[in-house]
Amino acid sequence: MSDQYKFTLEESEIPTSWYNINPDMPVNPAETAWNAVLHPGTQEPATPEFLSVLFPMKFIMEAVSMDRWIEIPEPVRDIYKLWRPSPLIRARRLEKALDTPAHIYYKYEGVSPVGSHKPNTAIAQAFYAKEEGVKAFTTETGAGQWGSALAMACNFFDIDCHVYMVKVSYEQKPYRRVMMETYGAEVTPSPSDKTQYGQSVLAENPDSPGSLGIAISEAVEAAVTSDGKYKYSLGSVLGPVLMHQTVVGLEALKQFEKADEYPDVVIGCVGGGSNFGGFAFPFLHKNFTEGTKTRFVAVEPTACPTLTKGKYAFDYGDSAKSAPIVKMHTLGHSFVPPGIHAGGLRYHGMAPHISSLHDNGDIEAIALDQVSTFEGALQFARAEGIVPAPESSHAVKATIDEALKCKEEGTSKVIAFNLSGHGFFDLAAYDEYLHDNLVIYEYPQAEIEKATADLPEVQLG
């Protein structure tokens, strides 16, 4: 076991392939891959032609690929080199503060230029779009984490980027908007009058603050009605997005070799599922193929308890029912999550792969309230220096709890979590926590029953 704090890799050690979990899924691939993606109108399996209106063809082919390793294109890897490999850090000071026999490691994705793991897929998607002659990407963003990643990626490949940003965030949190504009993106507060759907929302309520659901619908409409000039880009949920993120877990595997340890528990926060999947799947692969017995813990907010309280069923990807239908854990497409600070975890659904793995018992899930996650975040910041993003703080707190359990039991487990981003843009939330102004939301089961009562009835062939 190494006595180091930090495990770095040379840029030549950036993985040359992503890990595609499709061929290793322990459940019927019909429920997790291609043919379980349904057209929102017909509820029939979506054709590549339909999907290609939305996504670059390369992206669609990745979604259905049964190749275990998919080569990372050289231009993508070249951009990864700007900040990758990201460090794996042994949290020795946190261990000491907790007085735990556990060994705590975190992979730190906050070193990317936009401060999160999001560029790992944005770069790949922008490259595919460029290769296929796409002129621009449309996308939606809440607080702006994903939007700024895609804006940077599009800028690198010289394609336009149109971001529909939830209006209340656009007005109240201007900094991410400025960041997107710094990379040359066009940012539109949503609902807008640029789309029919936006116009219809505004006609009903001119003062609508917007929502992620509305913004998705606007971005999708803008792509669909562009005659193929624009495509739509999604920053989570879909298989290829999770696969692009496996660069995180694959690097971590190499770094654990250098540390001469191997994780007993792997922890990540889950919203759509991309940072968790990207970090966990390469370790899960070892469970499947080499008999390791690592536990996997997905951590979600009690305010949006998709895995722990949602239904495992077919549902629409967005509230306007314009995005494809997939089988996933869902709180219902009409679900509007409370305004917690972890904006990236406020999604009604969950990546189909993660839903399926959870359903099959391969990964565990827990839900934490935001006061306890900020408590963990503060403890982490004071021990390790880095101020975590509110999303990542869910993984932080779960890790601390796990480490304290080790102390109680006197066991020396190796715990690894993904610190998916920093909290430089979230200090207002820390301010609320420090002054006891944070609210705890528990989503009531009755509400979930109501919101999931009218899910589409799907009969697979």
**Residues forming the site for its own copies (CB under 8 A):** 4-6, 8-12, 78-79, 81-83, 89, 93, 111-115, 119, 152, 155-156, 174-175, 178-179, 181-184, 378, 381-382, 384-387, 424-425, 427-428, 430-431, 434
| Separation between Cα atoms, residue 275 and residue 262, nearest integer Å | 20
Question: Residue 434 — φ and ψ, nearest 5°?
Answer: -65, -25
Which residues lie below 8 Å from residue 429, measured CB to CB, with a gap of 6+? 341, 374, 390, 423, 438
Dihedral sign (CA 424, 236, 162, 150): positive
Please, what is the minimum distance in Å from the beta carbon of residue 15 to its own copies?
Answer: 16
Residue with smaller CB distance to its own copies, 122 or 354:
122
Please, what is the minimum distance in Å from the beta carbon of residue 44 to its own copies?
Answer: 42
Please, what is the minimum distance in Å from the beta carbon of residue 4 to its own copies?
Answer: 6
Nearest C-alpha neighbor of 318 from the set 215, 395, 245, 172: 215
By DSSP bridging, strand 88-90 and strand 6-7 are antiparallel
Please, what is the minimum distance in Å from the beta carbon of residue 59 to its own copies?
Answer: 22
Please, what is the minimum distance in Å from the beta carbon of residue 240 to its own copies?
Answer: 22
State both tokens at 442.
């528990």
CB-CB contact of 442 with 337 (8 Å): no
DSSP class of residue 369 equals -
Residue with smaller CB distance to its own copies, 178 or 440:
178
Please, what is the minimum distance in Å from the beta carbon of residue 366 to its own copies?
Answer: 25
Residue with smaller CB distance to its own copies, 79 or 98:
79
Residue with smaller CB distance to its own copies, 111 or 458:
111
| Separation between Cα atoms, residue 161 and residue 255, nearest integer Å | 35
Residue with smaller CB distance to its own copies, 5 or 67:
5
Residue with smaller CB distance to its own copies, 2 or 289:
2
Residue with smaller CB distance to its own copies, 172 or 175:
175
Side chain identity at 271, as an amino acid letter? G
CB-CB contact of 383 with 367 (8 Å): no
Please, what is the minimum distance in Å from the beta carbon of residue 262 to its own copies?
Answer: 21
Strand, helix or coil at 368?
A: strand
DSSP class of residue 291 equals -
